[in-house]
């Protein structure tokens, strides 16, 4: 089969089409004939040699796919050849076939084509477990999403809005801020011109927000703490702006704040299966009634994965970048 390999750690050009054997599903696994795969920022980090796949996982990048079930391994119930499916993977999505643990497979939401469905698993699993489980965002509360125009950000804004929260988002251009507002953010904040703490203190009458979803870290850390309301929760999912920060811990005690975070990829199949069930129950109905959409910025042929990574690193995209694996 065709797959995209990382020839060596480096820039987008190290992504090269290769011939690989079709993987075989082991016990509890499903073999998927891939129609489309999502491109995610962790794939860029893996390509750069900064995010090693967990032990035993293929070196082919790609964390999410949609397509049809080709075959199933032993002890798989509920899936059979020919069924439409989308899945969260620990790797291997940039290929004509991919193997997924059955608990990480979900049916396509009614009415959604595979190109859009392939953009759901990584962002929806991540947003669900971080914003609603760890961050405990409740209806009527408020959420600040950093990187609002990212794949993760566009999902977080819509999901939080659809579940009755007030949403604010930061992004790096006026166009991205307007896009965040079109998705349901009450106010897009261009962090290049405005200080998000000042803006949010103004619009919340000094109260601050209940939850912050952050992928920047670094010098955002103190400001994230400053913008949280009493009993606020900061959920860290990446550190694009740096791993280290110096903070005052006093507000954590004074306002009884919670600082937490998580990564999805190294979690067990059992844990991912539990998140899959929650996403199926709570997110799929919102997608099916159009309250949450997959915003596809651009789709590329699988062979042009390097170009997709170039666009991702330009950060000019709004929403998801996708790979088409068969026409």
* Minimum CB distance to ligand NAP, residue 152 (Å): 4
315 binds ligand NAP (CB under 6 A): yes
* Minimum CB distance to ligand NAP, residue 316 (Å): 8
Q: Which of 117, 264, 283, 323 binds ligand NAP (CB under 6 A)?
A: 264
Q: Which of 33, 41, 134, 233 binds ligand NAP (CB under 6 A)?
A: 41
> Of the ranges 36-44, 86-94, 110-118, 205-213, which one interacts with ligand NAP (CB under 6 A)?
36-44
Token pair belonging to 244:
């280290």
Kindly tell me which of 7 and 50 has the beta carbon lying closer to ligand NAP.
Answer: 50
* Minimum CB distance to ligand NAP, residue 187 (Å): 15
DSSP 191: T
147 binds ligand NAP (CB under 6 A): yes
Kindly tell me which of 229 and 275 has the beta carbon lying closer to ligand NAP.
Answer: 275
> Of the ranges 34-42, 74-82, 222-230, 244-252, which one interacts with ligand NAP (CB under 6 A)?
34-42
> Could you report how far apart the first and last alpha carbons of the chain are, in Å?
15
* Minimum CB distance to ligand NAP, residue 172 (Å): 3
* Minimum CB distance to ligand NAP, residue 88 (Å): 10
Q: Which of 88, 200, 213, 216 binds ligand NAP (CB under 6 A)?
A: 216
Kindly tell me which of 38 and 232 has the beta carbon lying closer to ligand NAP.
Answer: 38
311 binds ligand NAP (CB under 6 A): no
Q: Interhelix angle for 196-203 vs 220-227, to 10°?
A: 10
Q: What is the DSSP track for 108-172?
A: PPTT--HHHHTTSHHHHHHHIIIIIIIS---TT-EEEESSTTSHHHHHHHHHHHHTT-EEEEEES
Q: Which of 238, 275, 294, 295 binds ligand NAP (CB under 6 A)?
A: 238
For the chain, what's the residue count?
A: 327
102 binds ligand NAP (CB under 6 A): no
Look at phi and psi of residue 256 and say left if phi exceeds 0, alpha if psi is from -120 to 50, else beta: left
What Cα–Cα distance (Å) separates residue 228 from each residue in 5, 143, 144, 225, 252?
A: 42, 10, 9, 5, 10
# chain residues binding ligand NAP, by CB under 6 A: 24
> Of the ranges 29-37, 202-210, 221-229, 233-241, which one interacts with ligand NAP (CB under 6 A)?
233-241
122 binds ligand NAP (CB under 6 A): yes
In degrees rounded to 5, what are phi and psi of residue 156? Answer: -65, -45
Is 218 buried (19+), middle (13-18) or exposed (0-12) by CB count in 10 A?
Answer: middle
104 binds ligand NAP (CB under 6 A): no
Do strands 296-301 and 320-324 pair parallel, antiparallel, or not at all (unpaired)?
parallel
172 binds ligand NAP (CB under 6 A): yes
> Of the ranges 13-21, 198-206, 223-231, 259-267, which one interacts with ligand NAP (CB under 6 A)?
259-267
What Cα–Cα distance (Å) separates residue 124 from each residue in 30, 130, 219, 298?
A: 20, 10, 27, 19
Is 178 buried (19+), middle (13-18) or exposed (0-12) by CB count in 10 A?
Answer: middle
Token pair belonging to 207:
């109260």
In degrees rounded to 5, what are phi and psi of residue 222? Answer: -65, -40
Binding site for ligand NAP (CB under 6 A): 40-42, 122, 126, 147, 149-152, 171-172, 176, 215-216, 237-238, 240-241, 262-264, 312, 315
């Amino acid at each position: 089969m065709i797959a995209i390999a990382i020839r060596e750690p480096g820039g987008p050009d190290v992504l090269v089409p290769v011939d690989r054997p079709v993987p075989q599903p082991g016990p509890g696994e499903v073999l998927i004939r891939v129609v489309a795969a999502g491109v995610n920022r962790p794939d860029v980090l893996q390509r750069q040699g900064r995010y090693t796949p967990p032990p035993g996982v293929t070196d082919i990048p790609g964390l999410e796919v949609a397509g049809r079930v080709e075959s199933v391994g032993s002890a798989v119930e509920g899936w059979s050849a020919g069924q439409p499916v989308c899945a969260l993977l620990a790797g291997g999505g940039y290929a004509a076939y991919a193997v997924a643990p059955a608990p990480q497979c979900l049916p396509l939401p009614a009415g959604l084509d595979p190109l859009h469905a392939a953009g759901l698993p990584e962002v929806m699993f991540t947003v669900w477990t971080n914003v609603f489980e760890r961050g405990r965002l409740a209806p009527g509360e408020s959420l600040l999403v950093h990187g609002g125009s990212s794949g993760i950000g566009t999902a977080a804004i819509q999901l939080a809005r659809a579940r009755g929260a007030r949403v604010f988002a930061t992004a790096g251009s006026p166009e991205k801020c307007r896009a965040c507002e079109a998705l349901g953010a009450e106010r897009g904040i261009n962090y290049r011109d405005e200080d998000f703490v000042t803006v949010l203190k103004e619009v919340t009458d000094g109260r601050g927000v209940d939850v912050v979803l952050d992928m920047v870290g670094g010098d955002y850390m103190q400001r994230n703490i400053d913008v949280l309301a009493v009993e606020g929760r900061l959920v860290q999912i990446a550190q694009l702006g740096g791993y280290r920060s110096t903070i005052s811990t006093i507000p954590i005690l004074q306002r009884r704040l919670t600082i937490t975070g998580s990564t999805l990829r190294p979690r067990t199949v059992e844990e991912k299966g539990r998140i899959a069930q929650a996403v199926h129950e709570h997110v799929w109905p919102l997608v099916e009634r159009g309250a949450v959409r997959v915003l596809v910025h651009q789709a590329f042929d699988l062979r042009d994965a390097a170009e997709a990574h170039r666009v991702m690193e330009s950060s000019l995209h709004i929403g998801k970048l996708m790979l088409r694996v068969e026409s």
